[in-house]
Chains A and B, each alone.
Chain A
Amino acid sequence: MTTIEPETSGASATAAAAPGAAPADAPRTTPAERPSDGEHLLSTRDVSVLYGDNRALKPTTLDFDAGTVTALIGPSGCGKSTFLRCINMMNREIPHCRVEGHIWYGGVDVNAPDTDLYEVRRRIGMVFQQPNPFNKSIYDNIAFAPRRHGVKGRKQLDQLVEESLRGAALWDEVKDDLHKSGRALSGGQQQRLCIARTLALHPDVILMDEPCSALDPIATLAIEQTVRDIVATGICVIIVTHNMEQAARVSDRTAFFYLGEMVETGPTAHLMKMPKDQRLSDYLTGRFS
């Protein structure tokens, strides 16, 4: 079930984003305009980030669709992680960090003061660079957040744990020691546990911030496979990576960031083959990294 494209009748944008589809971008809406409902799952409009007076990210406009993987690539310090952390408002946890612009999701602007931050984050999950399972058992690592979000009942939780672990392709490896500490797993397993933990909240979007950078190549491939699997269930994955091969393997669309600016975006295959921007082609040919 690796690359089942969600062939949906209603979501035209999704189809457009599928690999091999027309390379042309979906027509851009003017920045401040609210995208019409239902066109994209998630749209950012002129999102920019300031640390104090220092602009870390220039206004960025991107669209993301359900059932696709978008890779954010670029050299380190280019603003891709900063952008990612805007989408679930994790930047609000950093002092002196200000996010401007609009992030349209589910009909509301995530970056509005009256948005329910907690609900947004429940639906837009995040997987971090370093695997960071809690100091709890594997079971509790997954059941913890749903419990706090009101899922009750042993049976329901059991089911949720199994389902989430299966979703992250971890069930067969850990089903017999669900009560072992999540920290006792290998690095790759820990990272898949973190993905499972996110899946347990039934998110629409999962943000991944270089999820494989702390892992060995085999664990990396397993994570990539997991990513394709969960995308096949209709989840939108946005993955930050500095590894172009990974972007090529895993993503449908790619956005290239450079020096705090989103330089170019498009279907991954097309972008890698025919970069329009000089900076991107320099990056692809390895002039800098």
Chain B
Amino acid sequence: MTRSDKAATNAADAAPRAGAQTGATRAASAMDADTAASMARRARRSDHVATGVLAVLVGVVCLLTVAMVVYILASGGTKMLDWSFLTSNPSDGGIGPEIFNSFYLLFLTLLISLPLSLGAAIFLTQYAPSGPVTTCIKTIIEVLSSLPSIVVGLFGFLVFVIKFGWQFSIIAGACALTMFNLPIMVRVIQQALEAVPRGQRDAGLAMGLTRWETTIHVLIPSAIPAIVTGVILSAGRVFGEAAALIYTAGQSAPAIDFTNFDITSASCPWNVFRPAETLAVHIWKLNSESVVTDAAAISAGTAAFLVACILVFNILARIIGRALEKKVTAA
């Protein structure tokens, strides 16, 4: 359907173009008409060829993505739908604790990084004076966003795990993931705030309100659909991150017991000082130093579950974003 649209647009803008062309030809009366015509023909042919090549490239990219997703879901799909696989301990070939750990870690990470990045984004969009300090801060956030996640993990290892003595723990992992997540979230929120029409902010300020009040009561409510969408999408990235975690949250998943509410116990799920392997780390661990016999099947199942979760995040981000958008703009 998009193809036919395209064709329509082509036809539409081809007409004036052709007119211009003939006009130009007529003007250059000295020019050999035959040569001009053959040049134009060749140009048109190479135009068609190029468009075809581009279409093939795009097709490959789309097919590749679809093939990968299908491969992941197909190779691990049956395993993923096996309830005992999803609930049992890794010692029995399951991924129960990993699933819980992944979500718990994600929750803690958002808990830390959301307020921080909201504050930073508000400062950068509303308060930051244009000057060397702001440029410096922007550079710093850019640096953070392009740091390899393994480096962030190493820093977490050095500071949270060793210096602070937290050992391999959920909290150390959440802190490392926060650093990994912060630049993405700051950028998302910053863009969302900047996308609110300037008139909204001016209206608030012109009524004698502070930038703070204008931001909290006018800009953020308007920007909330974009913020929520961005946060969910970034949650997907956090959910699949492993490199920042292998030396902070650790690579072991001790069995957890949901009836245990002793927050200091290693088997209490809510204890933030216990080591916790996530789904992504589990996949890596299985495939790099595997001792389990059916590592391939388990990792395929884990990957299928992980990718399914991330797809759900993606879809949720869209649906919720659209619903909020409707709610914000509608009466």
Question: CB within 8 Å of B: which residues of A?
Answer: 88, 90, 93, 95-96, 117-123, 125-126, 128, 130, 132-136, 144-145, 148-149, 177, 180-181, 183-184, 194, 197-198, 201
Contacts and interface: CB of A to CB of B under 8 A. Distances in A.
Nearest to B199: A132
A194 B206 CA distance: 11
Contacts of B217: 144, 148
Given A135-B221, A135-B328, A144-B217, A201 B208 contact: yes
Contact of B130 (A90, A96, A197): A96
Contacts of A119: 208
Given A96-B130, A135-B221, A135-B222, A90 B331 contact: no
Contact of A148 (B200, B203, B213, B221): B213
A183 B205 contact: no
A123 B200 CA distance: 19
B320 to A, nearest CB: 18
Contacts of B206: 88, 90, 121, 125-126, 128
Interface string B157-186: 000000000000000000000000000000
A253 to B, nearest CB: 23
Interface residues of B, number: 22
Given A134-B218, A135-B329, A183-B329, A121 B205 contact: yes
A95 B210 CA distance: 17
Given A95-B130, A130-B199, A181-B330, A145 B207 contact: yes
A93 B205 contact: yes
A201 B205 CA distance: 13
15 contacts: A121-B207, A125-B206, A125-B207, A126-B202, A130-B199, A134-B200, A134-B203, A134-B222, A135-B218, A136-B221, A145-B204, A148-B213, A148-B217, A180-B331, A201-B207
Contact of B209 (A95, A132, A145): A145
A198 B207 contact: yes
Interface of B: 130, 197, 199-200, 202-210, 213, 217-218, 221-222, 328-331
B275 to A, nearest CB: 46
A132 B207 contact: no
Interface centre among A132, A149, A197, by most B CB within 10 Å?
A: A132
A194 B203 contact: yes
Contacts of A145: 204, 207-209
Interface centre among B210, B217, B329, by most A CB within 10 Å?
A: B217
Contacts of A181: 329-331
Contacts of B221: 135-136
Given A118-B208, A135-B221, A128 B202 contact: yes
Given A128-B202, A130-B199, A135-B221, A148 B130 contact: no
A197 B206 CA distance: 11
Nearest to B196: A135
Contact of B200 (A95, A126, A132): A132
A184 B202 contact: no
A148 B208 CA distance: 9
Contacts of A180: 331
Contacts of B207: 121-122, 125-126, 145, 197-198, 201
Contacts of B202: 90, 93, 126, 128, 132
A121 B200 contact: no
Contact of A90 (B197, B205, B209): B205
A132 B203 contact: yes
Contacts of B210: 118
Contacts of A90: 202, 205-206
Interface centre among B204, B207, B210, B213, by most A CB within 10 Å?
A: B207
Interface centre among B206, B209, B222, B329, by most A CB within 10 Å?
A: B206
Contacts of B330: 181
Given A96-B130, A126-B207, A184-B331, 18 more contacts: A90-B202, A93-B205, A95-B130, A117-B208, A120-B208, A121-B205, A121-B207, A126-B206, A132-B202, A135-B221, A135-B222, A135-B328, A136-B221, A148-B213, A148-B217, A197-B203, A201-B207, A201-B208
A128 B208 contact: no
A174 to B, nearest CB: 12
A177 B222 CA distance: 21
Contacts of A95: 130
B160 to A, nearest CB: 39
A122 to B, nearest CB: 3
A128 B222 contact: no
B58 to A, nearest CB: 37
A128 B221 CA distance: 21
Contacts of B130: 95-96
A135 B328 CA distance: 7
A198 to B, nearest CB: 7
